[in-house]
């Protein structure tokens, strides 16, 4: 039994049946991390207590405890609080910050009996599309170490793709789960805004951020969604409604489903490999019994501008708390209070974070608030209405996840606009607050993974996952494993 190649469902089944212990499974993944992370660099820290946690899970299982993920190892993006562990957000300003409490998603995973493998690398404060903005190191793509894994949750995606972890959590503000999932050839889901608690997630842009799962297949993704979703009174944006069982109708197929292909996502570069692979995927859905038709999301061209006004404005507000006074890094050479603020933030933040703070401060400033921020919020409403209008007649929307396969490390770091365009197909989902999932749908001529994006109605992740599962069963893209050794 090659443990690291097993799916989370297979691991959980074997552990429950006593064919495998949680300690054996955890040991195998820790060994895999030791063997491969010198190349992939997925992790910022590995949990030194993981084996003790696994032993405890085995004892609990022996006493009768059980659950769908009991004893299964999971990796966590390093912007979620895990009590007693460092939570750095891949930033020097939080380099020595130890979380004093657990995020709600961590509490729920502990209740499910998972084992935490460690904290994964990311773009600093989740600001980026390549994981090159980490203050500590750049994570590489498991399919080609000269290329980026995507971002900002690149460490989590790379950990799952390289079989260092069967499951991982990431966060998605404008594509930060779906884009790296596509780049690394795995499944990544951004839930409906309010479906998963953000309590204990270090905020980037509070009206856009959502925590979601990474997995190697749709079934595993559904299991992790079940574990972390649900109402949380500690999060004022959490929606108080019954949690769906995302595995219940997973195998019901797509017959009779109506799937929309938004023209705006396909017209600009119809010859692109990603576009072609998604159009081929549309034919698969039709063969499976779905009806696929063209639709329009007319305000798509405004999404990028709207996103980089709203997201930076919220980042400017959220990151004002990192001033060296209460917690985090403080410059010791400051001569007075103002000097301390300037030097702390100047040394503690990286260049991309500073860029976004300055952009956000500008659009919120007197004289520019109405012209930029207020107008962006109005256009955001129009973008949301576009989705509402399509979903009156369609169950799902199908698009590419990324405009290109994973690009070379260093290729776009000096061109922020080109970097921002990496998320052009994903940001509308966050602006509208709807769910989206990326699923492997092919490979480029250079052998790099390509992903399709399914977008669903609010709180209908189960229907979205059902379609993703049906596509997986008709293809074998998700079965291919990254060659990292």
Reported as a single tens digit per residue, the pLDDT across 137-158 is 999 999 999 999 999 999 999 9
Catalytic residue among 156, 162, 176, 277: 176
Tell me, yes or no, whether 480 lies in a domain: no
Radius of gyration of the chain (CA): 21
In tens, the pLDDT along 162-175 reads: 999 999 999 999 99
Q: How confident is the model at residue 276 (pLDDT cuts 50, 70, 90)?
A: very high
Taking the C-alpha atoms of residue 265 and residue 280, their distance in angstroms, rounded to an integer, is 15
Taking the C-alpha atoms of residue 181 and residue 251, their distance in angstroms, rounded to an integer, is 22
Provide the pLDDT for residue 270.
73
Tell me, yes or no, whether 134 lies in a domain: yes
Of 451, 467, 478, the C-alpha closest to 289 is 467
Tell me, yes or no, whether 71 lies in a domain: yes
- The whole domain housing 41 covers 3-256
**Residue 364: CA atoms inside 13 Å, Cβ hemisphere, count?**
16
Provide the pLDDT for residue 267.
85
pLDDT at 296 over 90: yes
Catalytic residue among 152, 162, 316, 422: 152
Q: Are 78 and 125 in contact (CB under 8 A)?
A: no
Provide the pLDDT for residue 234.
97
In tens, the pLDDT along 51-104 reads: 999 999 999 999 999 999 999 999 999 999 999 999 999 999 999 999 999 999
Q: With the CA atoms of 56, 3, 191 and 430 taken in that order, what torsion angle do they form, in degrees rounded to the nearest 10?
A: 120
Token pair belonging to 240: 């108080």
Tell me, yes or no, whether 367 lies in a domain: no
In tens, the pLDDT along 396-441 reads: 999 999 999 999 999 999 999 999 999 999 999 999 999 999 999 9
Taking the C-alpha atoms of residue 181 and residue 142, their distance in angstroms, rounded to an integer, is 12
H or E element at residue 291: strand 291-295
Taking the C-alpha atoms of residue 107 and residue 220, their distance in angstroms, rounded to an integer, is 19
Provide the pLDDT for residue 289.
98
Provide the pLDDT for residue 326.
82
The yes-or-no answer on residue 152 being catalytic is yes
Provide the pLDDT for residue 408.
97
* Residue pointed to by tokens 């919120």: 364
Taking the C-alpha atoms of residue 158 and residue 177, their distance in angstroms, rounded to an integer, is 11
In tens, the pLDDT along 326-368 reads: 878 998 888 999 999 999 999 999 999 999 999 999 999 998 9
Tell me, yes or no, whether 419 lies in a domain: no
Other CB atoms within 10 Å distance of the CB of residue 241: 11
Provide the pLDDT for residue 243.
78
Mean pLDDT score across all residues of the chain: 96
Tell me, yes or no, whether 340 lies in a domain: no
Q: Are 424 and 481 in contact (CB under 8 A)?
A: no
Our CA angle for 458, 299, 396, nearest 5°, is 35
320: helix, coil or strand? helix
In tens, the pLDDT along 458-484 reads: 999 999 999 999 999 999 999 999 998
Beta strands in 63-127 (DSSP E): 73-77, 115-120
Catalytic residue among 22, 23, 42, 77: 77
The yes-or-no answer on residue 316 being catalytic is no
The yes-or-no answer on residue 207 being catalytic is no
In tens, the pLDDT along 433-459 reads: 999 999 999 999 999 999 999 999 999
Taking the C-alpha atoms of residue 172 and residue 152, their distance in angstroms, rounded to an integer, is 8
Tell me, yes or no, whether 49 lies in a domain: yes
Tell me, yes or no, whether 372 lies in a domain: no
CA distances from 416 to 112, 155, 179, 429 (A): 41, 21, 17, 21
CATH number at residue 61: 3.90.1300.10
Taking the C-alpha atoms of residue 130 and residue 157, their distance in angstroms, rounded to an integer, is 11
Provide the pLDDT for residue 485.
73
pLDDT at 195 over 80: yes
Provide the pLDDT for residue 334.
87
Total structural domains within the chain:
1
Provide the pLDDT for residue 73.
98
């Amino acid at each position: 039994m090659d443990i690291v190649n097993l799916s989370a469902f297979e691991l959980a089944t074997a552990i429950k049946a006593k064919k495998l212990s949680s300690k054996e499974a955890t040991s195998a993944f820790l060994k895999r991390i030791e063997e491969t992370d010198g190349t992939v660099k997925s992790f910022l820290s590995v949990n030194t207590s993981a084996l003790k946690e696994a032993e405890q899970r085995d004892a609990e299982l022996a006493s009768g405890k059980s659950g769908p993920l009991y004893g299964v190892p999971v990796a966590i993006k390093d912007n979620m609080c895990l009590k007693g562990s460092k939570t750095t957000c891949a930033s020097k300003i939080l380099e020595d910050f130890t979380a004093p409490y657990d995020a709600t998603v961590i509490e729920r995973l502990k209740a499910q009996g998972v084992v935490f493998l460690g904290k994964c690398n990311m773009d600093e404060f989740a600001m980026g599309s390549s994981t090159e903005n980490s203050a500590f190191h750049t994570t590489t793509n498991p399919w080609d170490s000269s290329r980026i894994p995507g971002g900002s949750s690149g460490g989590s995606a790379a950990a799952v793709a390289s079989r260092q972890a069967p499951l991982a959590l990431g966060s998605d503000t404008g594509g930060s789960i779906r884009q790296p999932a596509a780049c690394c050839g795995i499944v990544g889901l951004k839930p409906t805004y309010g479906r998963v608690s953000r309590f204990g997630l270090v905020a980037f842009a509070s009206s856009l951020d959502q925590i979601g799962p990474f997995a190697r297949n749709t079934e595993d993704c559904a299991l992790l969604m079940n574990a972390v979703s649900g109402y949380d009174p500690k999060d004022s944006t959490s929606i108080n409604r019954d949690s769906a069982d995302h595995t219940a109708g997973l195998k019901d197929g797509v017959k009779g489903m109506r799937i929309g292909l938004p023209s705006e996502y396909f017209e600009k570069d119809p010859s692109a490999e990603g576009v072609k692979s998604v159009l081929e995927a549309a034919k698969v859905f039709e063969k499976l019994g779905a009806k696929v038709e063209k639709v329009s999301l007319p305000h798509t061209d405004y999404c990028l501008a709207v996103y980089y006004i709203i997201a930076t404005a919220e980042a400017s507000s959220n990151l004002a708390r990192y001033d060296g006074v209460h917690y985090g890094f403080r410059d010791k050479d400051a001569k007075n209070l103002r000097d301390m603020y300037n030097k702390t933030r100047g040394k503690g933040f990286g260049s991309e974070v500073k860029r976004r703070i300055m952009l956000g401060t500008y659009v919120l400033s007197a004289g520019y608030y109405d012209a930029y921020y207020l107008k962006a919020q109005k256009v955001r409403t129009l973008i949301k209405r576009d989705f509402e209008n399509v979903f009156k007649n369609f169950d799902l929307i199908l698009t590419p996840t990324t405009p290109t396969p994973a690009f070379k490390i260093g290729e776009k770091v000096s061109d922020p606009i080109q970097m921002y365009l990496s998320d052009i197909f994903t940001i509308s989902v966050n602006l509208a607050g709807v769910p989206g999932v990326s699923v492997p749908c092919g490979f480029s001529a250079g052998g790099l993974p390509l992903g399709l994006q399914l977008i669903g109605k609010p709180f209908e992740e189960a229907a979205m996952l059902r379609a993703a599962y049906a596509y997986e069963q008709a293809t074998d893209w998700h079965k291919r494993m990254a060659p990292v050794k």
